[in-house]
Amino acid sequence: MSHTRPLGPMRWIRFAALALTLLAPSPPILADGTVRLAVLKFGTLSWEADVIRRNGFDRAEGFSLEPSVFAGPQATLVALMGGDADMAVTDWIWVSRQRDAGRPYSFVPYSTAIGALMVPSGSDIGSLADLAGHRIGVAGGPLDKNWLLLRALARQRSGLDLASQVDPVYGAPPLLNAQIQQDRLDAVITHWPYAARLSAVGYRPLMDAREAMSELGIQAEVPMIGYVFDEDWAKSHRETTDGFFRAVARAKSRLAESDAEWQALRPLMGVDDEATFIALRDGYRAGIPKRWGKAERAAAEHLFEILRATGGEALVGKAARLAPGTFWEGATD
């Protein structure tokens, strides 16, 4: 006759834990876990991330989106390069330069909106040539793409070198917005969200970057800003990468069509008045990329040549052309 030895206390604990594990409902299986997204607190990327998470677009694609907030654009890129983020947003000039240095980053379009030259409503500045002798705020620094495009256009139109003809004041966009409203600047060349904020309080755009591109011969609508990420990471997490960009597409579609979605976003936008809210909403919508095919990629290569001629090695390094692989091969339409 066999005897069964009673389970001791520790064996009971292990048995109970195993039973609970087997009986508990299984959590949803994530394709590759998470996508860590580096965002700015009041940046437009945080809006898109909020729409994805609040509507469950990430969970529907089998991953979890985890935004991390950083103080400035450079900090987001440091996080990306240091392995603390999987995705950030910047321009493809940066991506091309990284690839030339042997770091395989890649780019998927985020927005065609770039920036504009803004002047007070009563300003006597009516053309790029009229900027000569004036104190002009330039957001970001001497290699800002809006500034370089306007310099290239002024040179094409009249041989004018804006860099030597104006008194440029380089600074962060919020600071420059404050300075022009205090009459310390005659005009500002700034990023589109800050141009939108100025337009809401009566300033007018003299020219935006897309107009400058068109006059410089760039006929396709080129998205300058995009999601950037390590190509090797994306290839080893291909299901998650594809799912992420499907979730992004759903978020953009929702923001293009739903005013109610914008009301839900309003607390994240840092706005106090209706005019600024509408200007930011409409500016974002206008920048949603419509196409990203051969024509747009060819236009980007042409634009690289224009920016290289103006910004030189300080902007693009020693590269004579856009680095192969700069644009993620899975993102054409």
pLDDT digits (tens, 9 = 90+) for 63-80: 999 999 999 999 999 999
Residue ranges per structural domain of the chain: 34-112+221-331, 115-215
Question: How many residues does the structure list for the chain?
Answer: 333
Instruction: Kindly report the backbone phi and psi dihedral angles of residue 38, in degrees, each rounded to the nearest multiple of 5, phi listed first.
Output: -85, 120
pTM of the prediction?
0.87
* Cα separation, 224 vs 90, whole angstroms: 8
Answer yes or no: is pLDDT of 23 > 90: no
- The pair of structure tokens assigned to 225 is 């800003």
CATH of region 115-215, choose from 3.30.70.580, 3.40.50.150, 3.40.190.10, 3.50.50.60: 3.40.190.10
Would you state the pLDDT for residue 32?
A: 54
- Compute the average pLDDT of residues 266-288: 96
Could you give the CA distance from residue 193 to residue 40 in angstroms, rounded to a whole number? 13
Tokens of 297: 């990629």
Tens digits of residue pLDDT in 209-232: 999 999 999 999 999 999 999 999
Q: Place 333 in a pLDDT band, splitting at 50, 70 and 90.
A: low
- The CATH class of the 34-112+221-331 domain is alpha beta
The pLDDT value given to residue 42: 80
pLDDT of residue 331: 60
Instruction: Lowest mean pLDDT of 32-41, 81-90, 135-144, name the range.
Output: 32-41
DSSP class of 67: E
CB 107 within 8 A of CB 95: yes
* pLDDT at residue 15 is higher than 70: no
pLDDT(6) > 90 = no
Q: Average pLDDT for residues 142-164, to the nearest whole number?
A: 95
Instruction: Output the average pLDDT for the chain.
Output: 90
Span 185-192, average pLDDT? 98
181-185, 258-262, 317-321 — which is least confidently predicted? 317-321
pLDDT of 286 above 80? yes
pLDDT above 80: residue 18: no
